[in-house]
Amino acid sequence: MSKRKNILSQMFDVRPTRQDGSLDLEKIRGVRRTIIVPEKKRVERDSSPRGEFDCEIPHEEPRRANIVQLGKIVSDDFIPRIPEDSGVFAGYELPEEAEKSAEDIIGSLKTKRLKSERKKKYKREKYLDAETQPFPEKIIPRLKFSYASSFAGVLIIFSLIVPAVGLIKKGFDTKTSLLKNSQEALGQLAQAKDNFASGKFNSAAVNFEQSYEILNEAKNEIGRIGGGFSEILRFVPGISKLASANYVISAGENLALAGKKMSESAKVLGSLENPLDQNEKNSPALTDIFLNLRSGVQSARDELEKAEGNISKVNLEDLPEEIKPQFLELKEKLPVANASLKSFLDYSQIFLDVLGYNGPRKFLFLFQNNQEMRATGGFIGSYGILDISNGRVKKLFVDDIYNPDGQLKARIIPPEPIQKMSAVWTMHDANWFPNFPTSAEKVSWFYEKTGGPTVDGVIAMTPNVIQDLLEITGPIEMPEYDTTVDAKNFIEKTQYEIEVDYNKEENQPKKFIADLMPKILDKVFNTKEALQMMHVLSVLDKSLDEKQLLLYSKNFNVQKLISEENWSGEILNAQKDYLSVVNTNINGFKTDGVIDETIEHRSEIQDDGSIVDTVSITRKHNGGNKKYDWWNKVNGDWLRVYVPEGSKLLEASGQTREFVSPPLDYKTLGFKKDPQVEVNEVSTQVDEETGTRAYDENHKTVFANWVYVSPGEQAKITYKYILPFRLNFDSLHHPADSFSTLFQKQSGSMGSKLISEIKLPENMKTIWHWPENTTLDRSAVRLDTTLNTDRFMGIAVEK
């Protein structure tokens, strides 16, 4: 008897039987050994994991139609904070390496793992891809208005056209004529490129047109030998070279047309007239010129998109080895150029609104002197009112700020530090908040209270903008003042005329600026050179990037666009660490013009993931023996340091402990408190040991102190504080984490030296860092740069 047990292959709730009721053993034995396991239902969830480096995106702000009212104090809450994450870093100068995804970063890590660590490695890579991707997939530099240089870089395609024709096999009879045509096209394109770069836009347009016609003839010849079947031929081995040549020449056609459109649109800049002296019948309006320019850019962008599509169809293997690197470079540059033109089209709405295309506009101009620093760029010594409609300037009035201040009827208690020099808060001290939209609202409110009209927006600029314009125009003769002004002496001459050499009987020290501005504009526009106008636009773009020029609109939609371009001067949100050093000169004369500032920032990550920051600000006074006395005085500075909200102060040193007593009995005299100032002052906590004031503003914690530095000396103030978050590690779900710092430049500053370091404990190591020019060792990452624009530094670490 067999020892095998009678084991059924299947279990039955009801056993099979024959018709006579006996067991159906054949059926039972014929059943396979199977088991049916119900498939688990997968629940798909909408998810969008945000990288640890991504900036926080706030909820949509409430409608503000009911906020901007005559005489109403406005809360911080309505101010736009940050653009959507796809545009957060678009205003920064980021290298191409910043476009790497987390997957690319991990792939570049040269690490060796034992088999036992493979599972851990997989989890870490998966985590980094989902959680620490530092930037959006594409980071595109914004257009810099310097069309000549940026577009000329795209014309690298022209050097590929002749070699591309060589891809066609020798058996084709048309090769000789194709080569000849392509050589002629190349000559025209090379000439077009040179003419475009030198500002000869009419000639460039003709060159581009001729090159297009030649290339079109070449493409037709390819079509007669089968190029019309390019979509099919590019997949056929051996014959795909014909298709590739056709696509390269088609891309050349697209770029030739794009070049023609760009040339035609750029040459309209030469027809610009002085906006202060326009004849409405004989000269084109600024809006007409700008719309013409925008139309040309749109057409050029359409052609670049087509060129990008044609290039994407070229088989890299069909190209000769010697031109493959050039081709790949072209393939990278085309999307950048295309996105740059798109950026111009996007923010053209801002300029059209400023030009009064959407209706008459009235703007308040603020001339901020950064020789005497204030929160948004400098002391407001002069102001102007600009009336503009449909691109035509109706009125530009420039005046001394003290004239409207003398008409102020509202009696508002100034912020405590201002009380040291002024008992009443007025328009010239109203740019108190480093968040420019807040200060712009405050200044325009004060202007209305002096009897001035309601304005549609505020534009602020520092002397740096005028200096850069003088670099373009050259010297400006001012015979009525018996002087000549140029880029080198502008600051000194202007300050001398304002402080010393003005007519004491007229008592209008700021009249010099009012007389100088029209002369600069005359020289800018009277040249009739389109290339010079492009240089002017480049100056404006640079000034916006470096926050020497700030824009604010009371139109919510326009202000949102300004914010997205990072032209608003607003305090930005940051997911992790943040630092902004804000200097406010109080009775320090014009000494900020001779101050060198160095900011040292060190983040020390502890074993438990907590982070302690130490920030030292060194201010060196280079005055003492200068020609003018206003540079040889003591620099008095109300210094505010903005850090992540919730940071706790541990130590402070180097400050001057000082408290300001109210100069008046404000309550008895019926002065009113400003709500925003009151919120800050009521919530302020004073550290008993150091006298440091600490409060929250714009979702940041602020440490504030007095700092004084005498001529020929230097002062160093240091803060040590713990951040309100920590790094988290979990070997299963969270094997790595990231840390980053956003350094925000103070508007109007000359550019402080910035030295930053992130130190790691022994149980952690860096697996990725940015920017690439940081120095890296086992326990630290260091960055040494100039804070002339906002900067960003980040790392990814694992235990």
Q: Which two tokens stand for residue 688?
A: 């008993």
List, for residues 693-739, the tens digit of each pLDDT value.
999 999 999 999 999 999 999 999 999 999 999 999 887 777 899 99
Q: Which two tokens stand for residue 737?
A: 């984490």
Residue 72 confidence (pLDDT): 36
Residue 612 CB contacts under 8 Å (≥ 6 apart), including other chains:
603, 604, 606, 650, 720, 721, 722, 723
- Helix, strand, coil shares, percent, the chain, to 5: 40, 20, 40
Strand (E) positions, 370-489?
379-389, 392-400, 457-461, 476-478, 483-485
Amino acid letter for position 706? W
List, for residues 68-98, the tens digit of each pLDDT value.
333 334 444 433 333 333 343 344 444 444 4
How far apart are alpha carbons 231 and 236 in whole angstroms?
A: 10
Residue 88 confidence (pLDDT): 37
Amino acid letter for position 50? R
Task: Name residue, tokens 């891309």.
Answer: 251
Q: Are 304 and 334 in contact (CB under 8 A)?
A: yes
Locate the domains of the chain by residue range: 147-354, 361-564, 577-655+690-798
- DSSP structure class, residue 598: E
Which DSSP string do the residues of 118-133 spell out, in sequence order? HHHHHHHHHHHHHH--
Taking 70 as the pLDDT cut, the residues of the chain under it are 1-23, 25-183, 185-186, 197-199, 218-219, 221-240, 269-283, 501-509, 526-530
Residue 362 confidence (pLDDT): 96
Burial 644-683 (b: 16+ CB within 10 A, else e): beebebeebebbeeeeeeeeeebeeeebeebebbebbeee
Quickly count helices (H) and strands (E) in the chain. Answer: 20, 22
Phi, psi (deg, nearest 5) at residue 460: -120, 140
Phi, psi (deg, nearest 5) at residue 44: -85, 130
Residue 270 confidence (pLDDT): 64
How far apart are alpha carbons 637 and 664 in whole angstroms?
A: 23
Residue 213 confidence (pLDDT): 78
How far apart are alpha carbons 705 and 685 in whole angstroms?
A: 12
| CATH assignment, 577-655+690-798 | 2.60.40
Return the SS3 of 410.
coil
Residue 33 confidence (pLDDT): 55
Residue 181 confidence (pLDDT): 60
Residue 171 CA neighbour count, 13 Å, CB half: 5
Amino acid letter for position 533? M
CA distances from 83 to 74, 552, 573, 629, 661 (A): 21, 15, 10, 44, 41
Long-range interactions of 776-781: CB distance < 8 A, separation 24+: 781/757
What is the torsion angle, in degrees rounded to the nearest 10, for the CA atoms of residue 500, residue 502, residue 507 and residue 509? -80
Q: Is the pTM of this model over 0.95?
A: no
Task: Name residue, tokens 């102007």.
Answer: 384
How far apart are alpha carbons 738 and 130 in whole angstroms?
A: 12
Q: Are 351 and 290 in contact (CB under 8 A)?
A: yes
Residue 137 CB contacts under 8 Å (≥ 6 apart), including other chains:
99, 101
From the number of C-beta atoms within 10 Å of its C-beta (0-12, 13-18, 19+), residue 284 rates as: middle
How far apart are alpha carbons 281 and 279 in whole angstroms?
A: 6
Amino acid letter for position 439? S
Q: Are 287 and 356 in contact (CB under 8 A)?
A: yes
How far apart are alpha carbons 90 and 81 in whole angstroms?
A: 15
